[in-house]
Amino acid sequence: MCGIVAVYSRREPIAAATLERATKSLWHRGPDSQRQWISRDHRVGLGHARLSIIDLSTGDQPIASEDNRTHIVANGEFYSYEAIQRELESRGHRLRTRSDSEIALHLWEELGPQCLHQLRGEFAFVIWDDKQRCLFAARDRFGIKPLFYAWHMDTLYIASEVKALFAAGVPSRWDHEGVYQSVSFGGHQMRTLYDGVYQVPPGHYLIATDKHVQISQYWDFNYPTAGNSAPRRSDADYIAEFRHELEEAVRIRLRADVPVGVYLSGGLDSCAVIGLAARHHPEPIRAFTLTFDDVAYDEGPIAREMAERAGAEFRTIPINQQRLAESFGDAILQSETLCVNAHGVAKFLLSKAVRDAGYKVVITGEGSDEILGGYAHFRRDMLLYNREGQDPAEIENLLKWLNEHNTVSRGLLLPDGDVGDLEGVRRVLGYVPSWMETFSSRGVKMQQLLSEDFGCRFRERESYRQLLSDIDIPGQLKGRDPLNQSLYLWGKSVLSGYILTMLGDRMEMGHSIEGRVPFLDHHVVECICSQPINMKIRGMTEKYVLREAVRDVITDTVYRRQKHPFLSPPATLNPDETFNVYVQDTLRGPVLKSMPFFNQSKVVSLLDRLQGMDVGERTAWDQILMPIVSMCVLHEGFGLGA
């Protein structure tokens, strides 16, 4: 993994110092080398901060084509690249390196944007093609790797992180509408918190010329319609099919010229990964596990049992409230977004421990819940919207059971308290996904803390409308099962906007760690998209096909355990601990007062009431306070203008 920068000016020449400054701001993504290239006319510049993992000796970037007319900077991994290298050489291409990144350059020369269909992996890259006089930027199918862009003074800036855009001269200002969208409903696949800064959406590419800019989609989930499903096969067939695709995705992600480790929790996803990885790794694989001092959040004993089952070397990284407080600011500035729990900070500390242990690459379990319906709100959707032939009384009992057995998900994955007006969602979709109800209930709480001016300005906005406006509802949702619709919408918003940011790439790359996610291999995703929904959720058992597919490589404890979301203990549950003191001091301090978004008096009043609440209520409100603390960190750290 690396950091990339591109600058394309339609008029003024690019200053070398600007490009160098932006590249250096991504040093954490690529500490092994930083290089830049500027075109002869000084209108185009590419920068690359390298984390060397494949082809350690000759893989520096930018990489040029044989005639020096086309250049690439890439971030990520292209798997099974050796076969493509051989094919390219057989067709007359002369490769300058043995790195995986170079294949995208030559495939572009042959196929243009269609080259993306030949690429398998986690990636973001930019190509300048002097013959076509165009800049081509692309992002992987799921948004595993970030790619931001901004226009400023007739110049297009592209980078792996927003901080590089700021370093290049893009003004650092809040986007008020983006802020409101984030705090009231959640993320968006294109907009950000920052004025004029956007993301290339997952599964899309951008082409820019002197006269034209275009963003196009090249991949989508494509769930089957009710009348277009393949003939039903046996459970055993579906399980074997999924096992084959997942095991292959894990196997190819073990390829590296440096050691590869695994992030291991007590969850089914990471346990499946290490169980399969152990079958293809020539020696014991190193497992890294976070542990917490609160037993309700600690999965250390389950992970240890799994590590022993896989014959792995087991290493724990203890996390307490003091360490969360000390690293919160650095982690949030690295994420460039808002958190709802300090789990991202814990991941930030985990990546530091992995780097200190001498590792650059880890395989992780992210993405499994998003494609297999692992979260509690997806099970709620199954109960509410797939009722044919089921006893209504039994459904109500199961809904009650779901709430009682997922207390840590209160307000985070299951609705808590009043839900806002979602009638517009119901009109468009015909139902309301449970995760939207959850986010709306969180938004109702947040509305109570907004400043009067900010709240009045946006109060009549239907926050979900921006998300639905970007979705091809007739083409991608109509006629699909409600669970698949819910998964699709979650994948277009929360997956790339939060999960793969706060729990993935940004926390890993904060300490120069490359995270590889086999569950988001597109062959795995296309496989599960085509299978019946009861292979995802069966009764109250989530991720059914995965459980059965990996039963032979996981412990019985993991096989029988229901989903527990990865969370760190909320700060407000520990009033005497350092982290709670940090939250209190931040929200009572001058930074929040200087921001135009929140009424500090109302926030302080909430802080004063917290200790009189029960644990469940306090947990739900903690998820409201975390985004506000995050905004204070970003406001001060980036010097954001209002």
Residue numbers annotated as active site: 2
What are the Cα distances from residue 182, in Å, to 198, 339, 593, 604, 624? 14, 10, 20, 21, 12
Task: Identify whether the C-beta of residue 261 lies closer than 8 Å to the C-beta of residue 274.
Answer: no
Does the CA dihedral 517-523-529-531 come out positive or negative?
A: negative
Does the CA dihedral 162-163-168-173 come out positive or negative?
A: positive
DSSP 409: G
How many CB atoms are closer than 10 A to CB 595?
A: 21
d(CA 359, CA 443): 40
d(CA 239, CA 230): 16
What are the residue ranges of helices labelled H in 449-490?
A: 452-458, 464-469, 482-490
Strand, helix or coil for residue 310 = helix
Q: Beta 361-363 vs 260-263: how paired, if at all?
A: parallel
Strand, helix or coil for residue 391 = coil
Question: Which residues are CB-contacts of 493 (< 8 A; sequence separation ≥ 6)?
Answer: 186, 187, 188, 189, 467
Question: Which residues are CB-contacts of 141 (< 8 A; sequence separation ≥ 6)?
Answer: 202, 203, 219, 520, 522, 525
DSSP 294: S
Task: Identify whether the C-beta of residue 503 lies closer than 8 Å to the C-beta of residue 366.
Answer: yes
d(CA 642, CA 639): 10
